[in-house]
Amino acid sequence: MEGAFCATGAHSAWGAGAGASCAGGAAGGGLGGALIASLLAAVLDARALLGDTGAYPPDVASPLDAYDFVVVGGGSAGAVVAARLSEVPHWSVLLLEAGGDPPLTSEIPPLFHSLQGTAIDWAYATEPQQHGCLGMRDRRCAWPRGKVLGGSSVLNSMLHVRGNRRDFDAWAAAGNTGWGYDDVLPYFKKSEDMRRPVLGEGEGEDGYSARFHATGGPLTLDLSDHRPPLVDALLDAARELGYRVGDVNGANQTGFTLQHAAIRNGTRCSSAKAFLVPARDRPNFHVAKFAHVTKVLLDAHTKQAVGVEYIKNGTSRTVKANKEVILSAGTVNSAQLLMLSGIGPKDHLEKLDIPVVRDLPVGDNLQDHMELLTPTFMFNRSNPQSKDPVKELEDTFQYLLHRTGPLAGLDILQFQGFINTKYADPSADYPDVQYQHIRFAFNDVEATRRVSEVTGFTDEVYKAVFGIPNSKAEIYMPLAVLQRPKSRGTIRLRNKDPLQPPVIDPRYLSHPDDVRVLVEGVRFALRMARSRALRRFEVLPSEERVPACAAQPAGSDEYWACAVRHLATTIYHPVGTCKMGPPSDAAAVVDPRLRVRGVLGLRVVDASVMPAIVTGNINAAVVMIGEKGADLVKEDWLHAGSD
């Protein structure tokens, strides 16, 4: 799981352990946690030992008045776009980013969860939801987003999943020429530097082959360095249920795997590290940090983007773009910026007294993956293991000295996979549910509280989901993730103030089919827990029930549907608010070359352009959009002879 995952620091009877809990920051609770926290802080302060934190581009002291390209947002996609455009030596490129450099804590893979709610998180929340998020305080789901160089690739849990061939072929079939799987595969490969396993020409270990993967790209992918025994048992359970175990980013997707992650030498490989660090010394490339863009400047007559307005150090400034402005501010903020600039739904803009430049359905088509934090499984019940401070210290030393061990990987989260529920065609290799896993040491109140807190659970939900079962045993949760939601939401401006968070209404679970699929997700999780492979772990589903659902018969579809509406939350993959589409698509905001319709010199290149969400975590596809987006710009200005 991405958000609620916490490498638990459990030191189990099988030698499992992630060393440092994500709870509360660098380390877990108790004496061990405090020791580790101070040890980590001391060593991180010294910096030298961790070394590979990346030398990010400096903050430009005196930006020019004009650049050829102004890129807004240095996140998963924006970092790629800015770096690739600045490869052209006679182009000048400015990247404007609202945040600063990634903090050192973000380097250590299992600590990713501790970054939520800090200064590098925009910390958005949805509007109160009617059909979902019912077990959250105020019925709002939390929406963390990276406000930092590297964007959400600095906050995320690094899982590298590409999506399904059919996702991209469907984009192309809808008129998005050039976005079919065979078109985008070279861009996935262009970024990639797969460290393990070594790729051969034919199909190698677990199905990895050079047909689908590459080495030598800027984005390093690696396997987790350490594998808890529960993960091996889960792999066996998957095989026992008839699932393939192997690459899910290659020829097939259905099945389970030890997932590659954006990790380099045991540290996070964000888009900032992968793409901006190598570009830092280019004389034609400037980066302005803590620069909050408030508006795209448009010539009202020619409908041409001529620059942007931004606030830095409390002062409003402008910068001109000679060729293009490229918005890569993400699904929330690219939509917000377009609307602030007069590009959006006419009625909405008029209500806010914003002069309309183009009437486009900006902010519609909002889609997201939801993950379900249930059932809770107790395991190792006759001999539950608490966190072991001594083991945590050992793990910490191992990490600091060698960058290996539990702190260099993703613990149980590395095990994930895709299945077909009864609503998917099992012969089509187009799975509708993904699973990710989290676990907690016995009685790990600090970690469970932390996860519950950032998820936004009410206290009574916390007790049922985490508190009571974890007071009896170690716990793990297979988190079913809905892959192709039918619910659609919107993003709108709250008011004309660019510094106010927009109104985020994903209308989670407003389509009943989304609930049905997740109920089937529960059924499969229960089946897997009953497998022979897991028997030695004494796995048992917790009988604690979501209090608000207690009227429904235990184990019935009605009960699980109620649980879905209370416990499902975002897995942080919002897309679609600046939808890509051909001229015939009235719902499209950008064309297949990512140009904003009816406006000159303005593109959007980030997760918001996805016409439909992909199957699997989306960061890899967003990086691909960055790669392809940059090439589209190069084609238009270089190869078309206009430059």
Residues noted as catalytic:
573
Residue 485 near ligand FAD by CB under 6 A: no
H helix runs in 475-618, sequence order: 512-529, 557-567
> How many residues of this chain bind ligand FAD (CB under 6 A)?
44
Residue 293 near ligand FAD by CB under 6 A: yes
Encoded tokens for 307:
């620059």
Measured from the CB of residue 22, what is the shortest distance to ligand FAD in angstroms?
A: 11
H helix runs in 427-556, sequence order: 445-455, 459-462, 468-472, 512-529
Rounded Cα–Cα distance for residues 57 and 64 (Å): 16
Positive or negative torsion for Cα 392, 394, 395, 399: positive
Pick from 7, 37, 72, 219: which binds ligand FAD (CB under 6 A)?
72
Amino acid identity at 523: R
Give yes or no for a contact between 171 and 580, defined as CB atoms under 8 angstroms apart.
yes
Measured from the CB of residue 506, what is the shortest distance to ligand FAD in angstroms?
A: 14
Measured from the CB of residue 406, what is the shortest distance to ligand FAD in angstroms?
A: 18
Measured from the CB of residue 324, what is the shortest distance to ligand FAD in angstroms?
A: 16
Residue 157 near ligand FAD by CB under 6 A: yes
Residue 456 near ligand FAD by CB under 6 A: no
Nearer residue to ligand FAD within complex by CB, 94 or 419: 94
List phi, psi (to 5°) of 99: -105, -170
Measured from the CB of residue 244, what is the shortest distance to ligand FAD in angstroms?
A: 21
Residue 225 near ligand FAD by CB under 6 A: no
Which positions ≥6 away from 634 have C-beta within 8 Å?
A: 84, 85, 88
Residue 308 near ligand FAD by CB under 6 A: no
Pick from 292, 439, 595, 628: which binds ligand FAD (CB under 6 A)?
292
Rounded Cα–Cα distance for residues 495 and 352 (Å): 6
Across the chain, how many H-helices and E-strands are there? 15, 25
For residue 634, CA distances in Å to 172, 330, 434, 587, 643 come to 21, 22, 36, 27, 10
Give yes or no for a contact between 125 and 141, defined as CB atoms under 8 angstroms apart.
yes
Measured from the CB of residue 358, what is the shortest distance to ligand FAD in angstroms?
A: 19
Nearer residue to ligand FAD within complex by CB, 39 or 589: 589
Measured from the CB of residue 386, what is the shortest distance to ligand FAD in angstroms?
A: 27
Residue 96 near ligand FAD by CB under 6 A: yes
Token pair 């077990």 is found at 135
What DSSP state is assigned to residue 611? S
Pick from 21, 53, 76, 510: which binds ligand FAD (CB under 6 A)?
76
Which stretch, 23-31, 124-132, 322-330, 459-467, contacts ligand FAD (CB under 6 A)? 322-330
Residue 385 near ligand FAD by CB under 6 A: no
Nearer residue to ligand FAD within complex by CB, 227 or 292: 292
Q: Would strands 490-492 and 315-327 be described as parallel, antiparallel, or unpaired?
A: unpaired
Q: How many residues does the chain have?
A: 643
Pick from 106, 253, 328, 470: which binds ligand FAD (CB under 6 A)?
328
Encoded tokens for 17:
């352990």
Rounded Cα–Cα distance for residues 411 and 229 (Å): 10
Which stretch, 100-108, 330-338, 515-523, 555-563, contacts ligand FAD (CB under 6 A)? 330-338
The response to whether 433 counts as a known ligand-binding position is no
Could you give the 3-state DSSP secondary structure of residue 312? strand
Measured from the CB of residue 147, what is the shortest distance to ligand FAD in angstroms?
A: 4
Which stretch, 33-41, 68-76, 193-201, 524-532, contacts ligand FAD (CB under 6 A)? 68-76
Q: Which residue is nearest to ligand FAD (CB)?
A: 75
Nearest to 562 by CA among 603, 525, 512: 512
Pick from 10, 22, 158, 370: which binds ligand FAD (CB under 6 A)?
158
Pick from 23, 25, 97, 379: which binds ligand FAD (CB under 6 A)?
97
Q: Would strands 93-96 and 285-288 be described as parallel, antiparallel, or unpaired?
A: parallel
Residue 475 near ligand FAD by CB under 6 A: no
Pick from 81, 464, 607, 614: which binds ligand FAD (CB under 6 A)?
607
Positive or negative torsion for Cα 375, 379, 384, 385: negative
Q: Which residues pair with 600 in a beta bridge?
A: 304
Could you give the 3-state DSSP secondary structure of residue 278? helix
Positive or negative torsion for Cα 55, 395, 19, 227: positive
Nearer residue to ligand FAD within complex by CB, 77 or 357: 77
The response to whether 293 counts as a known ligand-binding position is yes
Measured from the CB of residue 150, what is the shortest distance to ligand FAD in angstroms?
A: 7
Rounded Cα–Cα distance for residues 506 and 291 (Å): 28
Pick from 70, 77, 419, 562: which binds ligand FAD (CB under 6 A)?
77
**Residues 573 to 602: which contact ligand FAD by CB under 6 A?**
573
Nearer residue to ligand FAD within complex by CB, 396 or 608: 608
What DSSP state is assigned to residue 612? S
Say what angle helices 619-634 and 78-85 make with each other, to 10 degrees: 30
Nearer residue to ligand FAD within complex by CB, 36 or 622: 622
Pick from 21, 333, 396, 577: which binds ligand FAD (CB under 6 A)?
333
Residue 57 near ligand FAD by CB under 6 A: no
Measured from the CB of residue 434, what is the shortest distance to ligand FAD in angstroms?
A: 11
Rounded Cα–Cα distance for residues 103 and 111 (Å): 11
How many CB atoms lie under 10 A from the CB of residue 326? 32
Nearer residue to ligand FAD within complex by CB, 254 or 617: 617
Could you give the 3-state DSSP secondary structure of residue 517? helix
Which stretch, 158-166, 218-226, 347-355, 360-368, contacts ligand FAD (CB under 6 A)? 158-166
Rounded Cα–Cα distance for residues 420 and 256 (Å): 12
Rounded Cα–Cα distance for residues 242 and 198 (Å): 27
Residue 257 near ligand FAD by CB under 6 A: no
Here's the x/- map for ligand FAD, 114-153, by CB under 6 A: it reads as ------------------------------xxxxx--xxx
Encoded tokens for 351:
């209500």
Positive or negative torsion for Cα 463, 434, 193, 405: positive
Which stretch, 10-18, 26-34, 100-108, 615-623, contacts ligand FAD (CB under 6 A)? 615-623
Encoded tokens for 403:
């960058």
Pick from 9, 29, 33, 78: which binds ligand FAD (CB under 6 A)?
78
Cα-trace Rg, the chain = 23
Measured from the CB of residue 451, what is the shortest distance to ligand FAD in angstroms?
A: 12
Per the annotation, binding residues for FAD are 148, 293
Annotated binding site: 148, 293
Residues that bind ligand FAD (CB under 6 A): 2-3, 72-78, 96-99, 144-148, 151-153, 155-159, 161, 292-293, 328-331, 333, 337, 572-573, 606-607, 617-620, 622
